[in-house]
Amino acid sequence: MSQMRLQRFLSAAGVASRRKAEIWIVEGRVTVNGQTVTELGTKVNSDKDRVEVDGEHIRMPDAPLYYLLHKPPGTVCTESDPEGRPRVHELLPPGLPRLFTVGRLDWDTEGILLFTNDGKLAKALTDPKIAVPRIYEVKIQGAPDPHLVRRFNEGVRLDDGRMTRPSPTEIIRRTKTNFWISMVLTEGKNRQIHRMTQACGRRVLKLHRVNYGGIVLTGLRTGQCRPLALHEVEMLVAAAGLKRTRRANARVQKMRAAEDRRASNRTGPPSDRNDGKESSQKPYSKPRRPQRSKGKPFNEKSGSNRPGKGRAKPSTKSRSQRPQRKPKR
């Protein structure tokens, strides 16, 4: 495994966040191969170096973990809350290494929440340039409004002046005083759906995320969690575009290997190279064919375009100046 910064190693091992790990390093609580380290730029190798925090050996997990939680309303997605509110990490099974959330949901929002220690996949899933789709079901106060749906489909200007991306939206059901819509987001601005609805003069009553990159909450009750299946992880990898990147890298490696083989065939084996000595024989070169210029006859005997003995010189006299033959009687 390649080297990485010490604080990143501690974060990937699941013992603390990067900021907290930096504090531990500065306080002198971290040792590498028996020596106390206080410099934040120190790099370690998880396969060779022994890292300890307060005398406890820290190991890198063997494989990344992926968990799905049906987040209940009234919980926060932070690892520590100074107000003491319920946290989503308390709903995970005990004994797991440190897992972080893929994005966040608001205090009163429920639905799909992913946990993992795969930083590369988590970063790709939340990257607005990749635009992984997330589907929400939203309960809005008041009668159904086609104008609101049209504005969501085209994009809404928020209170800070920024324009949202077009969000495909449709009305899915109605009640006497409210209505539900289904909308697709490909970006994650802070409280985006609430702010979009407020910009249209309405208010969100309930918000439920029902799909994240193809992952759904089938058979999972509120507050329950489960590990993702292999096909679900592959679905997220494909949605994040990482599978195409891996295939492209493999294709580049094959092309480089083929180019190396062609280069070795051109140079030949060492025995055919005369050990670096130059050969006395001149290399064979194909004889050049004489080029024929336009508008001039070619003399095959002389090998040039100039008139010679092999061919009669063309006359320069006009037709009227040439001697005419006498007709036969």
- Region of 25 on the Ramachandran plot (φ > 0 left; ψ -120 to 50 alpha; else beta): alpha
Measure Cα distances from 37 to 21, 47, 266 in Å. Answer: 12, 18, 53
Count of CA atoms in the C-beta half-sphere (13 A) of 157: 1
Q: CB under 8 Å, gap of 24 or more: what pairs does 73-79 form?
A: 73/107, 73/108, 73/109, 73/110, 74/107, 74/108, 75/107, 76/107, 77/101, 77/104, 77/105, 77/113, 79/17
CA dihedral for 279, 281, 284, 285, sign (positive or negative): positive
Name which of 281, 213, 224 is nearest 72 in CA terms.
Answer: 224
Angle at 312 between CA 310 and CA 313, to 5 degrees: 120
49, 54, 106, 145: the catalytic one is 106
Is 145 part of the annotated catalytic residue set? no
- 8 A C-beta contact, residue 40 and residue 25: yes
Q: What are residue 217's DSSP bridge partners?
A: none
At 56, phi and psi to the nearest 5? -100, 130
Catalytic residues: 106
